[in-house]
Chains A and B, each alone.
Chain A
Amino acid sequence: MAKTPFRTEVLTPEGSVFDDEVTQISTRTKTGSIGILARHQPLLGMLEPTELRLYRGESDAEVVRFAAGEGYVQVSPDGVLLLVEEAHSPDSLDIGDLRDKLGRAEDALSSAEDGTEESRRASRDKRRWEAFLRIAEGGSQ
């Protein structure tokens, strides 16, 4: 069965990175992975760093992938709007650089006192770089 296409835009502070019709979106919210198809119930959700997949058709070749940072998803009858703080093509990720960043976040986390904003911040950074590293390593296989 052919899936119904719907309009999707991915916006970052540095501009729009995707604006086209898709048939399915796959991403992750605070509560877990979600897939969005046409005529999804209106939704406002918070996104966790993950691999964002936009399906333009049935085959795997038509999937657009992004390493996406934290963000929000808004589903309305007009389409889907994804707001993410950063979105990179998985090929552009630099594994060495991500390992450095992850290392720094881990150091900051272990030196920060529990319950402080400093430690919350370090764990957010850590989650982001871990997710990006997984995407980068997965892509190179």
Chain B
Amino acid sequence: MSASQRDVKNRIGSVKNIQKITRAMEMVAAARLRRAEQRIEALRPYAGAIRRMTRQAAEAAGSEISGLPILKEHEAENTVALLLITGDRGLAGAFNSQIIRAGLRAAREHEGGGRAVLYSAVGRRGVSTLNFRGKEPVGRYVGFTDRPSYADAREIAEELIASYVDGKADRVEIFYNGYISPLTQEVRRETLLPLQQATILEGTERDREGAEDDDHHTHALVEYEPDPDEILARLIPDYVEISVYRALLESTASEHGARMTAMRNASENAGELIEDLTLEMNRARQAEITQEIMEVVAGAESLT
């Protein structure tokens, strides 16, 4: 075997190894994606129940909820906090970079309008990119993007609420990859604070249909402990926690989906490369054989 043939053979070997790794990563991502989808499903009954309780407490309280500090818009918008939700790891196509790009674009918009920007980031990728760009994040949340828990979401939500209520930020926006299907994710930009009343009312119509019956006969006699206003004051901030939690879960599902797609493409490219290299190797071998035959023929001719 000639030197060039050995070379090509080595390259085929290493591409095959890479393909094995990318195939394995694709399968791991697919399994994790299924689990992430289940966790999005698992949140639904809880979020629905919180919404129904809010409606019940709001009706009993009979007062306007708009007085709560997290619902109140600040008079002047001087500082905007941006939360970028990325992943702890790369190798997922445009998953991390598109969030950072969208966040930085929004930051330029705000700065153009004379508003200061505070950054926070979920995921090592977001934190390190922001640091690298000299935009040090005030909140760094890393180490859980593979499997975010509600406690992680609560920590983030409480810090954002505190910065809003205490006046360190006048508006909070979040950026994350919304999960549509394993193949499709879209960058979403949402205003988290001030909490939009629409977020609270969303879906009440649908809930109402199912709950109408028990509404009729339980309504009058319900006992509240403590009074409905106080219950409401704690239920409303839960929406912020739930929104952050849902964004984290969708981002995790999107990350696994994006990685699955990226790894499938990588495996396919490796396959094509292997074909090309195999062809090249066969050609080199054929050339060598032809060469040898010619030498033999030339040698025989010279004898006659």
Contact = CB atoms under 8 A, between A and B. Distances in A.
Given A44-B222, A46-B234, A16 B161 contact: no
Contacts, number: 100
Nearest to B224: A44
Contact of B217 (A77, A85, A118): A77
How many B residues touch the partner, as a band? 35 or more
Nearest to B213: A78
A86 interface: yes
How many A residues touch the partner, as a band? 20 to 34
Contacts of A72: 50, 53, 231, 235
Interface in B47-89: 47, 49-50, 53, 56-57, 60, 69
A76 B151 CA distance: 29
B158 A121 contact: yes
Given A30-B225, A42-B222, A72-B231, A117 B150 contact: no
A42 B217 CA distance: 10
Contacts of B47: 13
Interface in B189-222: 214, 217-218, 221-222
B39 interface: yes
Interface in A108-136: 116-118, 121, 124-125
B165 A117 contact: yes
Nearest to A32: B225
A13 B242 contact: yes
Contact of B39 (A11, A14, A42, A83): A14
Given A30-B230, A77-B217, A83-B49, 12 more contacts: A11-B45, A12-B46, A13-B43, A13-B150, A16-B45, A31-B225, A42-B223, A44-B53, A44-B222, A72-B50, A83-B46, A118-B162
Interface of A: 11-16, 29-31, 34, 41-46, 70, 72, 74, 76-78, 81, 83, 85-86, 116-118, 121, 124-125
